[in-house]
Amino acid sequence: MKVLVIGAGGREHSLVWKIRQSPRVDELYCAPGNAGIAEIARCVPIASEDIDALLAFARDEGIGLTVVGPEQPLIAGIVDVFQEHGLRIFGPTRQAAMIEGSKAFAKELMKQHGIPTAFFSTFTDPEEAKRYITEVGAPIVVKADGLCAGKGVIVCQTLKEALDAVDLIMVNESFGDAGAQIVVEEYLQGEEASFIAFTDGTHVLPLASSQDHKPVFDGDKGPNTGGMGAYSPAPVVTEALCREVMEEVMKPAVAAMAEAGRPYSGALYAGLMIDETGKVKVLEFNARLGDPEAQPLMVRLKSDIVPVLEAVVDGDISGISLDWDPRPAVCVVMASKGYPRSYKSGMEIQGLELARAMPDTVVFHAGTKRENGRLVTAGGRVLGVTCLGETIRDAIDKAYRAVESIAWDGVHYRKDIGRRALDYRPQR
């Protein structure tokens, strides 16, 4: 079978890496891919948002399965278009992907169906939003309604920060049309975790737990990013908590989407906040695998992923189970200096072969390209160095040994990825 993966980041490299291992796959393509993906698949120079060109390629090449990595083409309706032409594609339809495409839609869905989340209000008028914020006070969270590549959520500790956030999103239009509407919601405290599952629209199959590190600097300081590192499993997601999330969040969300006439098929991601008593609230839903959570998850997944993806597409995962490596995995994202704001590209990357030769280590590419025979940076997040270890401490140590062997001008990475797993103390 011929398989096409759409996307160009670390998540897509991890998917290509895992799909490559399947005996069901004869030929593997990625559009547009990156320098790392090009080593194990044929990269096709088609942007992930160019649906017409992707459709033409899939039809001409006889692609048997297309796997969509990023959210943008899902929101744009790539699944609908492929399905209309009889092509098998993994991911939610445009209407279903609105669970990520509009934070206001997702919050209303949770409110209507009793899925635990923070209290909130939505606004299209910045002055009304400011009046509301002044009334309720800080700390508070201000979110652009639409897609912002993980950067449209501003946690505000003071009233001034919150009012400035409204101006940034709605008046200055820093996130474009994504900020035409905002969600202002309760500030929640606790441990964040990522809960990702495959669903065929009826059945829900959870993946192993994972935890992301969003802020750009150590100690969860600085602006939010697409993710600076992740690990799996997340100790805060106990077996009991997993069952609770399945019954109170994931299954109700899938049922709610079906009831709304937006049946959801694909990977569904719930960002959770778990407070000190173990109570769970949903921060957001995403319509795809997390990035960088996918990297440690794919490294830990022992099952052939292709039959799982096919079962989702074919509408019945009831007989599917997943086999996981019991060892924890840690991914440290190496980024360009200045990310998530302005940064320079074109810096030559050194030491990659040394890192890749280390045991239990996979270096996933995100923002990389080949230029005149050199491997250079080509994005904000550049590499995701991912390691398995006998313990979380061992996986962390391995990951940072590999990270320290790689260098380029202006490299930046957090030094505390996995710290929360080491510091975690069971509450119940």
pTM, to two decimals: 0.94
Is residue 369 within 8 A of residue 376, CB to CB? The reply is yes
What gap in Å lies between CA 353 and CA 376, rounded to an integer? 14
Apex CA 180: angle with CA 150 and CA 144, to 5°?
A: 25
Homologous superfamily of domain range 125-180: ATP-grasp fold, A domain (3.30.1490.20)
- Domain coordinates of the chain in residue numbers? 2-94, 125-180, 192-314, 329-423
Q: Which of 105, 334, 297 is nearest to 197 (CA)?
A: 297
**Token pair of 397 as six digits:** 């140590």
Q: What is the pLDDT of residues 331-375, one digit of tens each?
A: 999 999 999 999 999 999 999 999 999 999 999 999 999 999 999
Average pLDDT of every residue of the chain: 96
Given this chain, do its domains 2-94 and 192-314 carry the same CATH topology? no
Give the CA radius of gyration of the chain: 21
CATH topology of domain 192-314: D-amino Acid Aminotransferase; Chain A, domain 1 (3.30.470)
Residue 112 φ/ψ, nearest 5 degrees? -65, -30
Strand runs (DSSP E) across 203-248, as ranges?
A: 204-206, 211-212, 215-217, 221-224, 229-232
Identify the pLDDT of residue 427: 57
Query: Which of the listed CATH numbers 3.40.605.10, 3.40.50.20, 3.30.420.10, 1.10.150.120 matches domain 2-94?
Result: 3.40.50.20
Q: What is the pLDDT of residues 229-280, one digit of tens each?
A: 999 999 999 999 999 999 999 999 999 999 999 999 999 999 999 998 889 9
